[in-house]
Structure 1
Amino acid sequence: MDKLLVIEDSQAFSAVLCSEIEAAYEIQTVPAYSLAEAKALLGGEDRFFLATIDLHLPDASEEEVVELVLSYSVPGIIFTTEMDNKMRAMLLSKGISDYVLKQGPYNIDYLISSVGRLWRNRFLKVLVVNNDLDESKWYVEQLKLQLLEVICVEEDTQALQAINDNVEIDVVIVDLNIEGRGAYRLVSNIRTDFPDRDIRIIGVSSELDSSSVHFIKSGADDFLRRPFQAEDLNCLVNRNLNHSEHLQRFKEVNTQKDKLLGMVAHDVRGPIGNIMTAGKWLLNKDMSIERQNEFYRLIVDSSEDVLGLLNGLLDMASINSGKVKLNCKLQLLSPLISERLGFFEMAAAAKNIEFVEMFEPEVEAYIDAKRFSQVIDNLVSNALKFSPKGGEVEIELTACDDETTLVVRDSGVGIPQAEQQYLFSDYTRLSTKPTGGEASTGLGLSICKSLVDAHGGKIGIDKNHQQGAAFFVVVSGVADSTHDHFAGGL
């Protein structure tokens, strides 16, 4: 896995920066506090996709550290306190990817955002439509510094074919003076031929005409007017990539919202209808005490179904918003599991299901007992729902190499292999149905995953288990303060 080299003379500031970047993205950071350390790391076995560079190192000049990083073909973002026009021109001429000034919290956020942008750019493509070979070469040189793959074509039919052949193309840069049917027509054709793709189109016009307006009216998202600098190009391309990602995320959230509303409407309609029906019968009919009790039980059961759904939704909202604070402690896990199983004795007895406890002695886990109880409850509840009458639910607890593993196995029909990839997604329902007609919100396993992730653990399904489904949870068996934090955004 490629890593980020953080060259920064202040160890305290470097620690903060590395921590923030690793928290924001799945990027492993490696700090260097001097030119000598940076040189040793660059010449070692680690591969770096990018370096952030502090210009004020104790053993190097400003140019020396930049030249060192670039000599290893590692792109660099300068992060420094001061920069005049002369230094800026010098750094850009050497081929840095970007620069950020140390002037406040916003600049740290901007640096972190820039690192993430370049990290994601490695998997994206930009199409440049320009019939000037020298200009195309310049575009390639500049955009490669942003870690983007660049495809160059000279005319409109080649451009449309390239877009058709490369689903990774997210940005198209169209020069006004291309060959073929014209730049405006090409922009319009892209919108017509690829209506389902979120392609950002940037038109490049000359200084003295109104072509920028024509680009926008033809369907372009943005424009560059000559003359422009490399910084103008890079900022505009990255801004459009950010916009495309935000739009995609909005669509995903909107789809989730629609799915949630449909699920809630479906799940609430039945219980509320039952409560209304039972209430009307109790108000308007003369009936025996035994019959009345049946309707009272229907009201209670239906209310519990609705309350369970609402509690699940509230849990998901709290977790996803990052408002769930974990207070982890090292503690014996078997007493907590036994306590939680006690709450399911009546449900197990109703289906004549036996709990089989297989606990290694004195197994400890570094957990938040309240939140980990939710994990246990959801796994046991699912196991009871999907086990047949007269079945068994096994709960196994083991410890190995500073890790504690909890396994919950049911005796049902199992999860179809094709559906296992969706197990921990929000609001997911699978083809397997509860054996006793129990309600299922589709939220339990998603909540489990968010909480286990917050503990720094792992949750999954044992694909080798033959009878029923077996879910495992692995958490730390030793004190680990790095996972005593807020859940959410995981």
Structure 2
Amino acid sequence: MEKLLIVEDSRSSAIMIREVLSQLYSFDIDTANSLKEFQKLTSDPQNQYFLALLDLNLPDAPDGEIVDLAIDKNIPSIVYTANVNKKQRTNIWEKGVIDYILKTGPQSISYICEIVGRIYKNREMKVLVVDDHPAFRQYIEQLLSTHQFQVFKATDGKQALDIFKSISGIKLIITDNEMPELGGIDLTIEIRKLANIEEVSIIGISAFHKADVSANFLKNGANDFIYKPFSEEEFYCRINQNLKMQESIEVQKKLNQEKNRLLSMASHDVKSPLSGIYNLCQMIIDDPDSNDNMDLLKVILEAAEQITEIVDNLLDVSVVESNQFRIEKESIDIINIIHQRIKLMEVIAAKKSIKITFNFPDKLILEFDRPKISQVIDNL
């Protein structure tokens, strides 16, 4: 199991952050309240942390010494502090931390959860960097590696296109515009022939502040654009925002697919009792004085209640989105339920020259959800 380390001198804050993260992720989370406890935990070879959340000012390390120790131990780190001035902020970024977060209340906890989840996902996220300047490619690679991305590099658009075709699963392309062979805008056009804007995010970059460069990138399928030079914070925010949007669209697609699947199942589950109701009503109309009519009406009522629950579940958006339907158990005679379902279906079966018979005890009390067991029997 992946391990996360929280270093916070306030025990209550550490516990609160740990509890919130535990509800969202299945990490093994350790907490430390001082530099001494941090050193003890990280000296154990069994403790391999994929990420650490560090309080910048600890009682035994008031000047941020813990950040240097974490970086020296190659632990990707997020700094968590009550206040930071411009000089401290610059110093923090120069150390190569993932991010810094101000302690501003519930919103900061929410952002912690978001960035922790982002870093965890990034380790499986493939990013392609395209630039003809080696120094800038290396700089971007370093920024992305700090956030745990898998990074692939290309010197121009032609090489980038070959890499994209040969490596599956690339989700983000960061490309310069002015390059030999194939420029960034032309690369964007070619990529969009292979993957739409919802599948692969493209961020254009250019050092030339021309009004039409950013517009041409965006009009030809890029998701975003950044001018050089840019701040590292802006760079990370743009990347996170684009990937978050991409993931949101993917979740929505899966949700729509699940809704369609449930609707298909529901249409089948509704069709059987509706057919039974129709045929039983026809029997009552054909012989209104039959002694069996009261029993037939009871079966019709049961089938109507089943259909009502199916429709109610479909109208309950929260149930459909979670795919977790309510199960309401009660002690009922299963033999009586089977008799009712057979009564509902035997008219339909008779029209197809099918005879339904069964041999069960006179009574068998079990605990189950009445409408759902009726659906199961109908589908046999």
Same fold? TM cut 0.5: yes
Deviation at 1:256, TM superposition (A): 1.5
Q: For the Cα contact (< 8 Å) 2:197–2:223, is it kept in 1?
A: no
Q: For the Cα contact (< 8 Å) 1:129–1:178, is it kept in 2?
A: no
C-alpha distance in 2, partners of 1:230/1:285? 80
Query: Which amino acid is 2:215 matched to?
Result: V
Deviation at 1:239, TM superposition (A): 1.2
Cα 1:270–1:438 shift into 2, 3 Å: closer
C-alpha distance in 2, partners of 1:114/1:196? 23
Listed one character per residue, the Cα deviations across residues 92-111 of structure 1 (whole Å, up to 9, x for unaligned) are: 00101001101121111011
Deviation at 1:199, TM superposition (A): 0.2
Cα 1:245–1:354 shift into 2, 3 Å: farther
Q: For the Cα contact (< 8 Å) 1:348–1:354, is it kept in 2?
A: no
Deviation at 1:323, TM superposition (A): 12
C-alpha distance in 1, partners of 2:145/2:133? 18
C-alpha distance in 2, partners of 1:169/1:355? 61
C-alpha distance in 2, partners of 1:46/1:317? 39
**What do you get for the CA RMSD once the two structures are aligned?**
3.4
Cα 1:354–1:217 shift into 2, 3 Å: farther
Question: Greater helix percent: which structure?
Answer: 2
Deviation at 1:66, TM superposition (A): 0.4
Indicate the larger mover: 100-109 or 301-310. 301-310
Indicate the larger mover: 203-212 or 288-297. 288-297
Which of 235, 244, 264 is equivalent to 2:237?
235
Which of 352, 361, 365 is equivalent to 2:360?
352
C-alpha distance in 2, partners of 1:351/1:145? 69
| TM-score under structure 1 length normalisation | 0.66
Deviation at 1:158, TM superposition (A): 2.0
Runs of 4+ in 1 over 6 A off after TM superposition: 319-324, 353-356
* Structure possessing the higher radius of gyration over alpha carbons: 2
Structure 1 unaligned segments of length 5 or more: list them. Answer: 325-338, 357-372, 386-432, 441-490
C-alpha distance in 2, partners of 1:187/1:251? 24
Match of 1:429 in 2: none
Cα 1:353–1:69 shift into 2, 3 Å: farther
C-alpha distance in 2, partners of 1:118/1:174? 22
Match of 2:277 in 1: 275
Deviation at 1:165, TM superposition (A): 2.7
Query: Which amino acid is 2:255 matched to?
Result: V
After superposition, residues 439-478 of structure 1 pair within 5 angstroms as 439=379
Percent identical residues: 28
Do residues 89 (structure 1) and 29 (structure 2) align? no
Match of 2:109 in 1: 108
Cα 1:353–1:17 shift into 2, 3 Å: farther
Cα 1:340–1:323 shift into 2, 3 Å: closer
Deviation at 1:311, TM superposition (A): 6.2
Secondary structure of 2:193 counterpart: helix
Cα 1:248–1:353 shift into 2, 3 Å: farther
Query: Which amino acid is 1:221 matched to?
Result: N
Match of 1:56 in 2: 57
| TM-score under structure 2 length normalisation | 0.83
Do residues 29 (structure 1) and 29 (structure 2) align? yes
Cα 1:314–1:221 shift into 2, 3 Å: closer
Q: For the Cα contact (< 8 Å) 2:335–2:360, is it kept in 1?
A: no
Cα 1:116–1:65 shift into 2, 3 Å: same
Secondary structure of 2:238 counterpart: helix
Structure 2 unaligned segments of length 5 or more: list them. Answer: 340-357
After superposition, residues 3-152 of structure 1 pair within 5 angstroms as 3-44=3-44, 45-152=46-153
Secondary structure of 2:263 counterpart: helix
Deviation at 1:63, TM superposition (A): 2.8
Secondary structure of 1:83 counterpart: coil
After superposition, residues 205-216 of structure 1 pair within 5 angstroms as 205-209=206-210, 210-216=212-218
Do residues 162 (structure 1) and 163 (structure 2) align? yes
Match of 1:445 in 2: none
Match of 2:355 in 1: none
Cα 1:211–1:315 shift into 2, 3 Å: closer
Cα 1:353–1:250 shift into 2, 3 Å: farther
C-alpha distance in 1, partners of 2:363/2:295? 29
Match of 2:181 in 1: 180
